[in-house]
Structure 1
Amino acid sequence: MAIPPPGFCWSFPVTSFALYASSYGQGRTRYAELQRWTLGE
């Protein structure tokens, strides 16, 4: 992933937060969602 150029502005609404656990096996890292929270205003 490339680093954005100076002055780059990227915004998007954040509606939830998730906690993930990672596990490594057979040369791959897998991610499993443990819990998700909806964010209010």
Structure 2
Amino acid sequence: MNMSQTPFAPIQLISRESSTASLDNTTIVRAVQYQIGSLF
């Protein structure tokens, strides 16, 4: 049972957080780019 459930666990987590993670990633990338732009 555990062997069959292990590969599906991370996929479910990614699918659940994909909607929020996409928005978080864009904001983080923009913040990082802004900070890098301010430094250089």
Q: In which range does the TM-score fall when normalised by the shorter chain?
A: under 0.3
Considering fraction of residues, name the structure with more helix: 2
User: In terms of Rg, which structure is larger?
Assistant: 2
Q: Which has the higher contact order (CA 8 A, sep 6+)?
A: 1
Considering fraction of residues, name the structure with more strand: 1
